[in-house]
């Protein structure tokens, strides 16, 4: 008979695997459940980019530590984790976006990030697959890195197993058991599983599960997708990631191919999230539209071919920040969701902080700003939550001073719903 775990982690994406591993490293008995398998849902479909130029102090701290963890992973654990610390370039194509880049650099440097404005000639040298002549300004972050998401997921799964985490796959949680104001476990298709504490790291499926406790998460779910393209000349793994503020696009090498993605002006929104990420409907039209807007920046992009179209379901919140908390009516029931497309890149540090919280009973300082209680006095209607959260997705590359520069191309709002 299985020993009752100290902690049950529900959801084995990047954050769940990191939480489980770090809990086990603190000597706790950990059981991790997943409907499919380790990292088999949205995490595996992320872009796999770590961006050190954050402007929020908590996000900056989490990102810095996550990059350090990734860079030292193999030395510290003995488990291989391939990554490319080749930096990144961010371009502005207009005066308004150039001003934003300057603000980004100023704010990021205050948080200790190594990021600076660079001459366009230098940007061209660093990213020779681009045409800096069409840009107005650029910044460079030499310590940014990228990696293949499956590599991160496999690495954390491996170290978690080595640390003693027990895994159980093919389990669909249908209910949360609460006894006298404290979580007692969960119910799955194979029966009840008791645990001393439960951590929900179930991404876009968290909202439905927590609603069973009366906890309503201010979040919406959208499709994010990108294409892998062949035929772009000069692409190799040593090139930096490239982002363009004006059209919210990003690109990075995938071997000799190029990953090209965009944050759509009118993303497909899910009222009911598909149970499996492979069931997310994909449509590359918005990517092709964005490509036409920036093909002058990337040499040969216009003539490239789509090798693969990938998509997942990120969770968006009204202020673009995580939802990380303990459920008020169920002590010992924790959740970490609201990735706002930044779940994978900060997962290493988030797992450490969540494990510290459960082990000590004290919420770490860096997580305090992500409490759901920050919305308690805002009285947001469901329409306001939806509008603000969708705005965070569409405007992810804009700061508050450039919020008025909205892209007008893309699908119409009437085509936003699925499920």
pLDDT tens-digit series, residues 142-199: 999 999 999 999 999 999 999 999 999 999 999 999 999 999 999 999 999 999 999 9
Is there a contact between 83 and 147 (Cβ–Cβ < 8 Å)? yes
**Strands (DSSP E) found in 191-350:** 191-194, 197-200, 220-222, 224-230, 241-244, 249-254, 257-262, 269-270, 305-312, 315-316, 323-326, 333-337
Quick one: average pLDDT of 305-329? 96
Tell me: the pLDDT tens digits for 369-394? Answer: 999 999 998 889 999 999 999 999 99
pLDDT at 308 exceeding the cut of 70: yes
**Strands (DSSP E) found in 51-156:** 88-92, 116-118, 137-141, 145-146
Is there a contact between 49 and 181 (Cβ–Cβ < 8 Å)? no
Q: What is the pLDDT of residue 410?
A: 65
Measured CA to CA in angstroms, residue 290 lies from 9, 46, 284, 334, 402 at distances of 38, 19, 10, 39, 19
Quick one: average pLDDT of 186-213? 94
What lies within 8 Å, CB to CB, of 20 at 6+ separation is 9, 12, 30, 32, 160, 165, 351
In CATH, what number does 7-49+150-220+318-390 get? 3.50.50.60
Structure token digits, residue 347: 């997962």
Q: What is the DSSP string of 331-361?
A: BTEEEEE--TT-HHHHHHHHHHHHHHHHHHS
Of 217, 319, 313, 322, nearest in space to 270 by CA: 313
Domain boundaries, the chain: 7-49+150-220+318-390
Tell me: the pLDDT tens digits for 241-296? Answer: 999 999 999 999 999 999 999 999 999 999 888 888 889 999 999 899 999 999 99
Q: What is the pLDDT of residue 415?
A: 47
Q: What is the pLDDT of residue 418?
A: 55
Helix (H) or strand (E) holding 264: none
Q: What is the pLDDT of residue 403?
A: 82
Q: What is the pLDDT of residue 412?
A: 52
Give the Cα separation of 61 and 312 in Å (integer): 26
pTM of the model: 0.95
pLDDT at 341 exceeding the cut of 70: yes
At 147, give phi and psi (nearest 5°).
-160, 165
Helix ranges, 176-310 (H): 206-210, 285-294
Is there a contact between 228 and 258 (Cβ–Cβ < 8 Å)? yes
Q: What is the pLDDT of residue 227?
A: 97
**Confidence bin at 323 (pLDDT 50/70/90):** very high
Q: What is the pLDDT of residue 405?
A: 87
Q: What is the mean pLDDT of the chain?
A: 94
**Confidence bin at 414 (pLDDT 50/70/90):** very low
Q: Give the position of tokens 């450490």.
A: 352
Give the Cα separation of 286 and 269 in Å (integer): 14
Give the Cα separation of 174 and 154 in Å (integer): 27
């Amino acid at each position: 008979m299985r020993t009752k775990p100290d902690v049950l982690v529900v959801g084995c994406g990047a954050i769940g695997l990191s939480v489980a591993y770090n809990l086990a490293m603190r000597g706790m008995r950990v059981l991790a459940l997943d409907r499919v398998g380790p990292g088999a849902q949205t995490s595996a479909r992320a872009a796999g980019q770590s961006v050190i130029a954050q402007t929020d102090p908590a996000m900056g701290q989490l990102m810095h530590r996550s990059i350090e963890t990734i860079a030292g992973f193999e030395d510290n654990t003995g488990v291989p984790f391939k990554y490319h610390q080749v930096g990144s370039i961010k371009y502005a194509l207009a005066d308004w976006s150039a001003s934003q880049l300057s603000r980004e650099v100023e704010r990021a440097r205050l948080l200790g990030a190594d990021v600076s404005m660079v001459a366009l000639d230098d940007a061209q040298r660093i990213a020779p697959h681009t045409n800096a002549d069409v840009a107005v300004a650029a910044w460079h972050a030499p310590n940014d890195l990228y990696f293949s998401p499956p590599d991160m997921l496999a690495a954390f799964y491996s170290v978690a197993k080595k640390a003693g985490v027990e895994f159980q796959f093919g389990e669909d949680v249908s209910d949360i058991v609460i006894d006298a104001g404290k979580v007692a476990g969960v119910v799955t298709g194979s029966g009840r599983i008791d645990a001393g504490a439960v951590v929900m790291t179930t991404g876009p499926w968290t909202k439905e599960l927590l609603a069973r406790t009366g906890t309503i998460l201010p979040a919406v779910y959208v499709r994010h997708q990108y294409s892998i393209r062949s035929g772009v000349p000069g692409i190799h793994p040593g090139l930096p990631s490239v982002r363009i503020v004006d059209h919210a696009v990003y690109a990075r090498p995938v071997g000799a191919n190029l990953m090209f993605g965009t944050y759509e002006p009118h993303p497909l929104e899910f009222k009911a999230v598909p149970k499996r990420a492979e069931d997310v409907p994909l449509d590359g039209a918005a990517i092709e539209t964005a490509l036409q807007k920036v093909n002058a920046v990337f040499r040969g992009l216009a003539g490239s071919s789509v090798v693969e179209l990938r998509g997942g379901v990120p969770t968006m919140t009204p202020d673009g920040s995580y939802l990380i908390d303990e459920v008020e009516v169920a002590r010992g029931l924790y959740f970490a969701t609201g990735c706002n497309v930044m779940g994978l890149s900060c997962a290493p540090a988030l797992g450490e902080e969540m494990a510290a919280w459960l082990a000590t009973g004290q919420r770490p300082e860096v997580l305090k700003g992500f409490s759901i209680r920050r919305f308690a006095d805002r009285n947001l209607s469901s329409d306001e939550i939806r509008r603000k959260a969708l705005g965070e997705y569409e405007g992810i590359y804009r700061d508050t001073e450039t919020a008025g520069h909205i892209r007008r191309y893309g699908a119409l709002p009437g085509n936003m719903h699925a499920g």
